[in-house]
Structure formats: C-alpha cells, structure tokens
Chain A
Amino acid sequence: MNFDLSPEQKEMQRMARQFAAERIIPNAAKWDREESYPAEFVKEAADLGLLNITIPEEYGGLGLGLVEEVLIGEELGYACMGFDTIILASDLAIVPIKIAGNDEQKKRFFPLLHTGLGAFCLSEADNGSDAGALKTRAEFAGDDVVLNGTKMWITNGGVAALYVVFARMETEHKHTGTVAIVVPADVPGISHNKLHGKMGQRCSYTAEMIFENVRVPRANILGEPGDGFKIAMKTLDRTRITVAAGSVGVARRALEESVKYAKTRHAFNQPIANFQAIQFKLADIKMGLDTSRLQTLYAAWLVDNNRSHGQASAIAKCRASDVAFAAAGEAIQIHGGYGYMNDFPVEKLLRDVKLNQIYEGTNEIQRVVIARSLLK
C-alpha cells in the first residue's frame, strides 16, 4: 500500500495548481458573467500539455494515466469547474477511440487531438439517461456512412476538432443497433447552435449539434457496427472519474473559502469559526472531501491497472458530486448574505457543480449501476 505520488505526479499537480491560481481563478468570474468561452486560455492549457494527456505515446501523446488526469482535474475544478469541463470532456472522444479503435484509426484521429478538443455526441433532445433510445440515423452508402440527426447538450460542440457520434442503424434492437462513428469537424454538413442560459459552467461551450447528410468513410466506425452502445457505456465508465475529480476540486475550494471566511468573520465578538455550528459544517465538508478524493484516485488507479472499474467509478462520480454540491451549499450558508452574492466565489461553486450530478450519467443512473453490480 502506498499513498505517495511520484515526483512527476507532484510536479504536474504543482504546475496545474499554479496555472489555475494565476490564469484561471483571476478570470473565472468574468467568463461566468459573460458566458464567454476562454479560447486563448484553453490554448495556453494545451500548450502546457494539460489537454488530452491520455493519448498513448505511440500515437504522439503523453501516454499518461487517469491518476494524472485526476490530479490535474482537481486543480482545474478548484479554479473553475467550467474550464475543467472544457479540458476533460475532451477525454470523451479519446476513450472510445482508445478502447474500440484500430491502429489505423488511432493513427488518423489522435493527431487531431494533439492540440484540438474532442466532443462526445450521445444525448439528444428526447433522450439522456435512456441512451439507447437515440434517433440520429446512420445509413450505409457504399463505402460511406451518412449521418442525419441532432445531438443536444454537447460539451465542446462547435469548438472541437473531432466528434465521436453515436447513431442508430435502421430499426434494429435499440442497444445492438447503435454505431459509434468518428467525425472530424471539417466534414461538410455539421452545424451547431450554442446553448445559452446555463445555470453554471457558463464558460464551457455547450451546443446543439446538427448533422445533415454528413458523409464519412465506413473506416471511421469504431469497432463493429452495433458496438456503439457498448462503447458509449465503457467510455462513460472511465470518463466519469474525471467528473469526480473536478467535484473534489470544487469541494476543496468550498472548504478553503469557508475556513478563510469563518476565521475572519466576526459575530458576537468572536470569529464565527469559534461556533460549533460552523465547525461541524467544516468537519463534514472535510470528511466528504477526503473520502471522495480517495475513491476517485482509487477508481482511476483501477483503470490505469486494467482492473474492473465500473462500480468504483460510479461510486466516485456519484459520491464526489453529491459531496461537492452539499459542500458548496454549506459554503454559501457559512458566508451568509455575502455567500449569496457573486462578489464571493461560493455561489458559483454551487451553480457549477450542480451539473456534476447530471452529466456523464445522472447520479440516479450511477446508483442504478452500483445496485446492478450488487444484484447481478
């Protein structure tokens, strides 16, 4: 048993923390207010190597693991959960190619992700948790596949270099009839509408993606036609660990802001930190934070060591995001009236982290995953 990080992991953590403190935190409130996508800062992060770190070395990537990604994710989530999402949602395009792509596809697609973002197109207006019920159609035409349909709430939709799109073939069984197709962003027929009015994570670019007679070679299909649903589920089994990592970052931020405030805010002639009502809140956040972080790193370690990880990743994602949402709520409560105002950073934590309980499988779906693994 060893809880130590390697010197390189510590160095990455330190660099990500410094980048977050100097470049993200000072700007996050502005991006949130203006609902603006921080393109130049995403580029900075990419230049530092923080983007798409899990692309294998043989395809020109850094070949790092999910443990490293979790360490970075916590730091980005601490600074701004929306920014974290931009960077880490890109994994949703890497993982399907990694787990189901062949050598030729990896050689062709991974270079697009060396500096570009990836996006994962599964959800539609009429289906989210019931992922198999998708309506986007894939029709075969000679050596090509033609896509038609509209995807909803797509993170990085419109700013990505590459999309992994899930679609239905003809009218077969809903799970075995899906196909996963890689669609580079420059293929004709792709358009998008940026979605406005999000409650939080407002700097991440979320779009409705429209695929209109989008024609790509059959060679862009990941795995076999019909593997789509399985690929999507296996992908989410991994990527939701990064949602857990961001949540851990949010919980840590909620705790640190609360401790700082509780020590300096006075009531009844003393710092409010003297009151047990406040102390218990801090202790509860700390317990949730530490246990979530351990579970998140454990789930990441399972993936990196090729162990079965579906249940552990569901626990990490569900637990960490529930903890972080509660922590953000308590941080506002500790800050009182100030916490409700956007002059302080805690109300943004709550708005941002609400999404962590929803995307990449709602926390209800996570509980289903956990329960099914117990009862099978």
Chain B
Amino acid sequence: MKICTVLKQVPDAEASIRTSGSGVDLAGVTFVMDGMDEYGVEEAIRLREAGHTAEIFTLALGPRRFEEAIRTSLAIGCDRAIHIETDEALDVITQARVLADAVKKEGADLVFVGGKEADWDSSALGPALAEALGWTHLDWTTKFVLTGTTIEATHDTDAGNETVKLSLPAVITTQQGLNEPRYPTLPNIMKAKRKELRKATLADYAAHAPLTKIASEAIQVKARLNKILSGEGPETAKQLITLLRDEAKVI
C-alpha cells in the first residue's frame, strides 16, 4: 500500500501578520507544518506501526520554504517526499487538480490531508482532491481504523458525529482528536537527511492554470465603539443590559 500525506507550511499560530501593498507580508514570520496536516502524518505512521505494510510519502505544493515542513514530516517518519515547487498562489481547486495528478502518478491508495488549511482557513482541499481523483472521501475524521482495504472511521457532523465504512482508495481529512502527533526525535532527524526529497515543477503535472486570482488582500480591523457608561453601578448595569440586548443583540 502507498499512503500519501499532503501537507502545507503555514505561519505559526502566534505570528503577527501584516499587509503591505495588495498582499500579506510574510517577512520575518515563523513557519510550521500546518497543524491539521500533522495529524495525517501521524496517522500514516501509526498505520505502519500497527502492522500495515505501507510506503508513506509526503506531497507538498508550494514555495521553496515548504521544504522545512517537508523535512519535519520525513523526520517524523515519512519515507520520501515530493515537493512541487511554485511561488504561484494557486486556488484550492487548481491545487487539488495538480495534487491529484501527482497522487495518481505515484499510485497511492490512501491520502491524508488536513481538514482545514490554516493559512486561508479553507476546508476545500481534501474534498476537491477526492473529487479530482474520483475517490471516496471522509472529512473531519477523529477515528480511523483500516482492515484490509476497508476503512471504518468516525467524523464530526454539525450535530455530533457518525461512523462510516468506506473502501480504498480514499481521501481522509484529519483534525484534532484523531491522534496526538509525536515530536521528531533527534536520531530520526538525522536519518531524514538521507531520505529522498524530490523536486518537481507545475509543468510536470496536468491542469494547473489558476481558476482564481487574488486581486487584493486586507486584514480585518475591529472597530470599537469606545462607549463608556457613567453613573452608579445598578443604574449602569441596566444600561449595559439594554445596550447588549437592543444594540449589540448578543443577549
């Protein structure tokens, strides 16, 4: 079996993001592997540890800096990696088409990808990838068991969760609760040095003309009313309740 873990590198959750000109300025920002994707990497490693014979490869589409996140995945335990290097900002559907072509060419049976991409807050990549592959798909997975080619998995729904059965090949999107990702150990970091990190370009894969282009970007500014109530405590409390109910409509 071949397992593909798709990953992105995104700004660290604590990074402060600025805009400059019409885009986001990422200078000086610390990047990490997308936390949601980490669950996928961990799950793939656990499948192998549970006795499944599997080659696990990392697949990433993005700029050169993605290399660091890719190396992290190799240090955690993926066997090799393919980095489709591009500085182009591709929309999710286009990304999915490129990745789908790569997944097909590598002959993977199972794809893990984060339930949501932390950079653009999109949950579309996994479903779009399944669509492009014509594979079955389960999103927001919190429990995953593979027996032969049958998957029994639990995922979140709006009202709770459901457990479903599906067959390989499949695209599984991962999230918190699925597992507890491990740290890469120092010996494994050193071993990762000898693992293959193959570079590819968009030209190696089909269908990469972007469908959407970003015209401009702005960061949301939260305006405050700066309204200060004056008077005695009981009186201002009444005013506050009125404001919260009638104006802010939060209670």
Distance, CA A48 to CA B68, complexed state (A): 19
Q: Is B245 an interface residue (CB 8 A)?
A: no
| A49 contacts B72, C-beta separation under 8 Å | no
| B183 contacts A11, C-beta separation under 8 Å | no
Interface residues on B, range: 10 to 19
- Given contacts A14-B32, A19-B183, A49-B186, 9 further A-B pairs with CB under 8 A are A7-B67, A10-B68, A11-B71, A12-B189, A14-B68, A14-B72, A15-B189, A49-B189, A50-B186
| B186 contacts A15, C-beta separation under 8 Å | yes
Distance, CA A10 to CA B190, complexed state (A): 11
Q: Which A11-40 residues have C-beta < 8 A from chain B?
A: 11-12, 14-15, 18-19
Enumerate chain A residues within 8 angstroms of B187, measured Cβ to Cβ.
49, 62
| B190 contacts A62, C-beta separation under 8 Å | yes
Enumerate chain A residues within 8 angstroms of B61, measured Cβ to Cβ.
none
Distance, CA A64 to CA B32, complexed state (A): 24
Chain A residue, CB-CB nearest to B184: A15
Q: Is A53 an interface residue (CB 8 A)?
A: yes
Q: Is B192 an interface residue (CB 8 A)?
A: yes
Enumerate chain B residues within 8 angstroms of A47, measured Cβ to Cβ.
185
What 1/0 mask marks residues of chain A from 110 to 126 whose CB sits below 8 Å from any chain B CB?
A: 00000000000000000
A64 is contacted by which of B71, B75, B184, B186 (Cβ under 8 Å)? B186
Binding site for B on A (CB under 8 A): 7-8, 10-12, 14-15, 18-19, 47-50, 53, 62, 64
Enumerate chain A residues within 8 angstroms of B188, measured Cβ to Cβ.
49
Shortest distance in angstroms between A308's beta carbon and chain B's nearest beta carbon?
28
Distance, CA A64 to CA B234, complexed state (A): 67
Q: Which B89-122 residues have C-beta < 8 A from chain A?
A: none
Enumerate chain B residues within 8 angstroms of A50, measured Cβ to Cβ.
186
6 A-B pairs closest in CB distance: A49-B186, A49-B185, A11-B189, A48-B185, A49-B187, A7-B71
Shortest distance in angstroms between A344's beta carbon and chain B's nearest beta carbon?
19
Shortest distance in angstroms between B40's beta carbon and chain A's nearest beta carbon?
18
Enumerate chain B residues within 8 angstroms of A64, measured Cβ to Cβ.
186, 190
Q: Is B199 an interface residue (CB 8 A)?
A: no
| B72 contacts A11, C-beta separation under 8 Å | yes
Distance, CA A145 to CA B75, complexed state (A): 46
Distance, CA A15 to CA B192, complexed state (A): 14
| A8 contacts B183, C-beta separation under 8 Å | no
